[in-house]
Structure 1
Amino acid sequence: MRTYDELVREADTVSVDGWDFSWLDGRATEERPSWGYARLLGERMAKARAALDIQTGGGEILAGLPALPPVTVATESWPPNLRLAASRLRPRGAWVVADDEEPRLPFADAAFDLVTSRHPVETWWAEIARVLAPGGSYLSQQVGPWSVAELTEYFLGPFDGGHRDPARAREAASSAGLEVVDLRSERLRMEFRDIGAVIYFLRKVIWIVPGFTVSRFAGKLRALHERISAEGPFVAHSARFLIEARKPDGEIGSPAAG
């Protein structure tokens, strides 16, 4: 059995660039949503003329699709992810655009008949409505309320994690002039089987424990290591929701876009 110090050293130095979690294989598990986002995305992309993927990460999801539209654009803000996305997507004929995490999207009105995003930090509904062509759709899998709250509360104590409510997303989409045609949510079991998996996850998914570092939480990490060693995996639950919204035919721009 590997020691605590060995597990910590490895997990604290391995690269966390991109949005590939294969490093956790055998060390952590997470149930997948029943709707199959990658499958749905592939179906929508195969029918689209021009598509935009917002906050694409390292481009992993798009790069794994069997077909991309004739015009495919992906945006990303973090430089290490930009490089990964470009290396994966440019050979597929897609454009990768550096963009910050604030609106306005650097695209013309009604430029895309499909806009997508997986786990966006924030959804810019008015901008999405603006760049969608009439009859176009937005498809997104998002993080739901109190996702992985067990891990957050272990390190930080009670918190208000309810701001990612799917009902709020529906209201925001409607306010931007979009019609929500699908909205589903699920809670999914997660298991962390060693302390290295916890550290890697928190370094990569930085909003679960904001400001996380090994040195800052050394005492709690060691205590959690001892707990996992004695009792088995640390169990948490992620929250995910799927939302699909359509822009009505004949509508250019969005009332909320100004």
Structure 2
Amino acid sequence: MNEKDLFDLFVTEAEKPFSGWDFSYVSDTGRMASEPMHWNYTSEILASIRKADSLLDMGTGGGEYLSKLQPFPRSTFATEAYEPNVPIARNRLEPLGVKVVEVNDDNHLPFDNDQFDLIINRHESYSVSELYRILKPGHQFITQQVGGKDHIDLNAALDANEDNGYSYWNLNYAVQELERAGFNITKKMEQFPYTRFYDIGALIYYLKAIPWQISDFTVPNYFDKLVQIHQHIQDKGFIEFKEHRFFIIARK
């Protein structure tokens, strides 16, 4: 198969549907892989979930991840802001006893003061003041965040706008914000692991699933640069870009 036909094949493969927050089409097949981090989010939260009587999972996506953490505390809620994900999450989680709540404003969450023993948050935005309001005194907020420098080298490779408006968002900023609100930070870590893509179709699939990375991304808009990246992958076997992740445990 010549290079043009191979490129076209991968572009066609990238048309596979994406739902919830499930990258298994490219990750489980090894077409996209990330460097292991110095911590594991699940290992960090699991013991706290088992001890909690009430739990909130912020930004549950389609509920794929949370569903794997059973058994849940007696009172378990999940929020989701992306409208297409809400029915997916409800169908998956509510039969398991989890109440899924659609939210549109981080500053006004539909929960009582001091409602939760534990709040977990994986790659979701949050309001520090609302976290403090709804978390019980003496209990924990645990989060893994995507930092503001996430994949800026990917944007550069495509000659896309690198200013996502969140360049300030890093471990130090988040820690200071939480401390000002009255939280005590008990654990914090930050890392810039790589993500590798082993074919151009996996990269296109990924970019279509995260439209906030390059807001005007389409294959025609970035065709020439995508062809160059495709050729690089064919020559080198893969291409890699740097993620930005940080982790915090904060106690009220």
Q: Is residue 243 of structure 2 the alignment partner of residue 238 of structure 1?
A: yes
CA distance in 1, matches of 2:70, 2:58: 19
Task: Read off the aligned partner of 1:79 and give its amino acid letter.
Answer: E
> Displacement of 1:6 after TM fit?
1.5
Look up the match of 1:90. 94
1:178-214 Cα shifts (integer Å, max 9, x gaps): 1111111112122111110111111112232222122
TM-score by length of 1: 0.89
Matched residue, 2:22: 20
Which deviates more, 134-143 or 59-68?
Answer: 59-68
Instruction: For 2:86 and 2:40, locate their aligned partners in 1 and report how far apart those are by CA, in whole Å.
Output: 25
Select which of 119, 123, 140 maps to 1:137. Answer: 140
| Counterpart secondary structure, 1:103 | coil
Q: Are 1:51 and 2:39 counterparts?
A: no
Structure 2 counterpart SS, 1:52: strand
* Alpha-carbon separation, structure 2, partners of 1:211 and 1:174: 37
What TM-score comes out, normalization by structure 2 length? 0.91
- 1:53 aligns to what SS in structure 2? strand
**Unpaired segments ≥5 residues, structure 1:** 248-258
Q: Which residue is 2:70 aligned to?
A: 66
Query: In the alignment, is the contact (CA less than 8 A) between 1:38 and 1:61 conserved in 2?
Result: no
- The answer to whether the 8 Å contact 1:42/1:67 transfers is no
Instruction: Tell me the amino acid that sits aligned with residue 174 of structure 2.
Output: A
Identity of aligned residues (%): 34
1:150 equivalent among 150, 153, 157: 153
- C-alpha distance in 2 between matches for 1:20 and 1:159: 26
1:191-249 deviation digits (Å, cap 9, x = unpaired):
111110111111112232222122221221122112211232111121211101111xx
- Deviation, 1:131, is 0.5
Q: CA deviation at 1:114?
A: 0.8
Which of 112, 127, 130 is 2:130 aligned to? Answer: 127
Residues 87-236 of structure 1: matches in 2 within 5 Å? 87-120=91-124, 122-155=125-158, 156=160, 158-159=162-163, 162-236=167-241
Structure 1 CA distance for aligned equivalents of residues 62 and 105 of structure 2: 15
Q: Which SS does the other structure have where 1:163 is aligned?
A: coil
1:34 aligns with 2:38: yes
Quick one: which amino acid aligns to residue 108 of structure 1? D
| Equivalent-residue separation in structure 2 for 1:113 and 1:157 (angstroms) | 41
Residue 244 of structure 2 aligns to a residue whose secondary structure is strand
Give, as a single letter, the amino acid of the residue that structure 2 aligns with 1:61.
Y
> Cα RMSD over matched residues?
1.7
Mapped contact 1:143–1:239 kept (Cα < 8 A) = yes
Give the length in aligned residue pairs: 245
- Residue ranges of structure 2 left out of the alignment (5+ in a row): none
Cα distance in 1 between the residues matched to 2:49 and 2:208: 31
Separation in structure 1 between the aligned mates of residue 20 and residue 173 of structure 2, nearest angstrom: 28
- 1:81 and 2:85 matched: yes
Deviates more, 1:237-246 or 1:24-33: 24-33
Q: How much has 1:157 moved relative to structure 2?
A: 5.5
Pick closer, same or farther for the CA change 1:52–1:3 going to 2, 3 Å.
same
